Amino acid sequence: MTRSSVAVIRKRLFTLLMRAFATVVLLTAAFILALTFGYLAYGRTNNALYRLPAISILESYYLGHGNWDGVESAFRLMDRHPAPDFIVRWDETILLDPQNRILAEYGNRQSPRVGSLFEPNPRNILVPLHNGPTQIGTLVLLPRAAPRKIMLIGSLLYPISLISIFLALLTVLIGLLLSRRFVNPLAEVIAAAHAVSEGKLDTRVRVEGPDDLRDLSDSFNHMAAALERQERERRDFLADVAHELRTPLTILRGRLEGILDGVYPADASQITPALEETYLLERLVEDLRLLSLAESGQLHIERVPLRLGDLARRAVDLFSAQADEKNIRLEVQDLAADTLVLADAQRTGQVIANLLSNALRYAPQAGQVSLLIEPGVGEVSLSVSDNGPGVPEADLPKIFQRFWRGEKSRSRASGGAGLGLAIARQLVEAQGGRIEACNLPQGGLKITVSLPTAKQS
């Protein structure tokens, strides 16, 4: 992950954030302007924008005096407040009574037309004056006296412009703060994701920012570490498979080429070792297939109630000959004879066989391998113990890994491929159980398999 890529992403995110804020500011200003023009375009006599202070003063005057006598004093009061406070100029208005007779013309109560009926024309704007629900008169606004829209719009645009500028500056300030708090960590995660997609699995990001972004960064680091570990295990797995296949194939090829070249006679003494190597290859391939199916969850498991003691004794019978060769004593102690477990008989038997094979491999001459079955809370445990050298404590977590061997120099013929315990773990976990290993105080290794008990009918 280079600094240039982080900078590009950070710039792109910051620009996107600024665009979002600018869009909000512009939409707010446009909305306010739309409302303003809408009010101005709506029927002007009913428009609240035309209920100017002058109209309120006239209505208040009538309410206080009960008639229009002396309304000139209200005119003089309003004349002391120049436009645009009132916007209306009284020398451009006509005041009518409820019967549409002229009370004052152009702000003059002495006009010759006072007392005559007013005949409006389409260009006049009539603003009714009310005292509660009762109409007490009408104020006629001549076209040149109507509220000047340009002045009104300008008076509205001025605060809107100030507010928009303030919001724009505030947007930039907030954007800078958010850029440091949100954009920078997010940009690093995006850049790191690009680096991981290109195969740089050692990429990590700094855990910083708000809690959500910290969780995101931490989750990304865990994901990258898991991908790196899986990739390393994949490479190791391929290397181990190649190593395990190379030895029997080399032996098999050497035997067959020797027979073809006449170096070895084509008899049973030469063909039998070659055939044994094919058996080793077959078992290795079958172990790999079984392990692959178990790890991918595609292995067929048929869980039925069964007794672990029966499976353990059957496995001991199968390994008795191998134990006799090393003068190893095999014994089974069943403390859960009446307790059934819910497990697959074939796969569980294979697990016990793998554990016995591993124990017999490390048990010394005239040693001992013990199987102990005992009940627990909701489960039954089967332990296989030997009195061999045990496993260093640092290596205990590794014994269930594929192709792991305590002695790296062992060949498959003498020590196996290192798949037995890995297969055992996958088979146990596929049945809802668990498997653990520990060293015994008196020496040797103990591996314990725990399987859930079956419900008693």
pLDDT tens per residue across span 333-343: 999 888 899 99
In this structure, the answer to whether residues 197 and 215 fall within a common structural domain is no
In this structure, the answer to whether residues 115 and 221 fall within a common structural domain is no
> Is 105 part of a structural domain of the chain?
yes
Is pLDDT at 287 greater than 80 in this prediction? no
DSSP conformation class of 440: -
Asked which of 172, 191, 206 is the last residue of a domain, the reply is 206
Q: Which residues of 168-182 are buried (b: 16+ CB within 10 A; e: fewer)?
A: eeebeeebeeebeeb
> Is 63 part of a structural domain of the chain?
no
Asked which of 103, 121, 146 is the last residue of a domain, the reply is 146
In this structure, the answer to whether residues 141 and 235 fall within a common structural domain is no
pLDDT band at residue 63 under the 50/70/90 scheme? confident
> Is 333 part of a structural domain of the chain?
yes
Q: Which of 233, 227, 228, 208 is nearest to 218 (CA)?
A: 208
In this structure, the answer to whether residues 123 and 161 fall within a common structural domain is no
Whole-angstrom distance, CA of residue 339 vs CA of residue 431: 17
C-alpha distances in angstroms, 430 versus 44, 96, 362, 373, 425?
A: 81, 97, 27, 20, 8
Question: What pLDDT does residue 384 have?
Answer: 94
**Triad 142, 148, 154: Cα angle to 5°:** 175
In this structure, the answer to whether residues 190 and 248 fall within a common structural domain is no
> Is 68 part of a structural domain of the chain?
no
Whole-angstrom distance, CA of residue 271 vs CA of residue 251: 11
pLDDT tens per residue across span 155-166: 666 777 777 778
Question: What pLDDT does residue 36 have?
Answer: 66
Q: Which of 284, 17, 334, 311 is nearest to 174 (CA)?
A: 17
Mean pLDDT of 236-240: 73
In this structure, the answer to whether residues 371 and 441 fall within a common structural domain is yes
Question: What pLDDT does residue 144 have?
Answer: 57
Residue 343 backbone dihedrals phi, psi, to 5 degrees: -155, 170
> Is 430 part of a structural domain of the chain?
yes
Domain total in the chain: 4
The CATH number of whichever domain residue 417 belongs to comes to 3.30.565.10
HEC string for 388-410: CCCCCHHHHHHCCCCCCCCCCCC
Mean pLDDT of 442-457: 87
- Bridge partners of 334, per DSSP, are 373
Is pLDDT at 261 greater than 50 in this prediction? yes
Report the SS3 class of residue 302: coil
> Is 64 part of a structural domain of the chain?
no
Q: Across all residues in the chain, what is the average pLDDT? A: 79
**Pairing state of beta strands 368-375 and 341-343?**
unpaired
pLDDT band at residue 218 under the 50/70/90 scheme? confident
In this structure, the answer to whether residues 311 and 444 fall within a common structural domain is yes
In this structure, the answer to whether residues 12 and 118 fall within a common structural domain is no
Whole-angstrom distance, CA of residue 357 vs CA of residue 362: 9
Question: What pLDDT does residue 238 have?
Answer: 75
Question: What pLDDT does residue 80 have?
Answer: 60
DSSP E strand stretches across 43-99: 93-96
Question: What pLDDT does residue 85 have?
Answer: 43
Asked which of 165, 190, 206 is the last residue of a domain, the reply is 206
Report the SS3 class of residue 374: strand
Q: Which domain holds residue 170?
A: 1-52+147-206
Residue 282 backbone dihedrals phi, psi, to 5 degrees: -65, -45
Contact call for residues 382 and 352 (beta carbons, < 8 A): yes
Percentages helix, strand, coil for the chain (3-state, rounded to 5) are: 55, 15, 30
Token pair for 41: 């375009």
> Is 457 part of a structural domain of the chain?
no
In this structure, the answer to whether residues 136 and 104 fall within a common structural domain is yes
Residue 367 backbone dihedrals phi, psi, to 5 degrees: -90, -160
Contact call for residues 49 and 169 (beta carbons, < 8 A): no
> Is 42 part of a structural domain of the chain?
yes
Contact call for residues 129 and 58 (beta carbons, < 8 A): yes
In this structure, the answer to whether residues 327 and 415 fall within a common structural domain is yes
pLDDT band at residue 59 under the 50/70/90 scheme? confident
In this structure, the answer to whether residues 234 and 381 fall within a common structural domain is no
